[in-house]
Amino acid sequence: MACDFKKSDIQGIYEIQPKVFGDNRGYSMETYNEREFIQAGLNIKFVQDNQSFSRKNVLRGLHFQKNHPQGKLIRVVYGDVYDVAVDLRYGSPSFGKYSGIILSGEKQNMIYIPEGFAHGFCVLSDTALFSYKLTDFYDPNGEGGLMWNDPLIGIDWESVCPGITKNANLSQKDMNHPAFSLENKYFDLNAKWIGK
C-alpha cells in the first residue's frame, strides 16, 4: 500500500501517512488512492478540493456545515499546523471531545475527519499551504461554528501553539462563534443535522 492508516481514539478519524519516494532530485507520493481508502474502510466520494494559505498564528475555526456536512481529507503542502476536530455527533461516546494533530509539509501526514465534526487549525510555521478534499459542496447558507477557545471543549491550543491565546489572528466571523452546548444535539450519529 502507498499509505498507512492509523485510527484515532475518536471513531471515524484517521491519520494517514503516505509513502514518500525521494532522492536528491526531490520526491513523489500518492496523496489519494480510492482503492486503498476503500481497503482501509473509508468508502468516500470526494466532490470538491480546497486550498488555503495562512501566516503564523492564523487560527481558523471551529467550522462545520449544517445541512451539507463535509468529510475532509486534509494535508499541509508546506509549513506546519495544529489541526483539530471536535465530535458533534450526539450519542457518540466522544461527543464534545476533540482530537488534535500536527500536520507537517515535511512529514506529509494527512488526517481524515468525517462528517459531523467541527474543524479548526492554527499555523505554527511562518506560512502554511493547506489543502483538503471534501465529501460535499460548500453551502454558504449552512455555515456553523463554535468558539475556538470554548472552555467546555477545552482545546489545549497553548501547549502546541505557544502564545496563541494572546496572539491568535482570527477573522471577525471566527471571533463571534457561539459557545458549545451539551443541550444542542448538533448532528445525529449519521451526521444529519438535528441542532438549532
**Active site (catalytic) residues:** 63, 132
Burial of 36 (0-12, 13-18, 19+ CB in 10 A): middle
Helices (H), the chain: 34-39, 157-160, 164-167, 172-175
The DSSP secondary structure of 101-170, one letter per residue, reads EEEETTTT-EEEE-SSEEEEEEE-SSEEEEEEEESS---GGGEEE--TT-TTT---HHHHSTTHHHH-B-
What is the amino acid identity at position 74?
I
Q: Cell 497553548 belongs to which residue?
A: 158
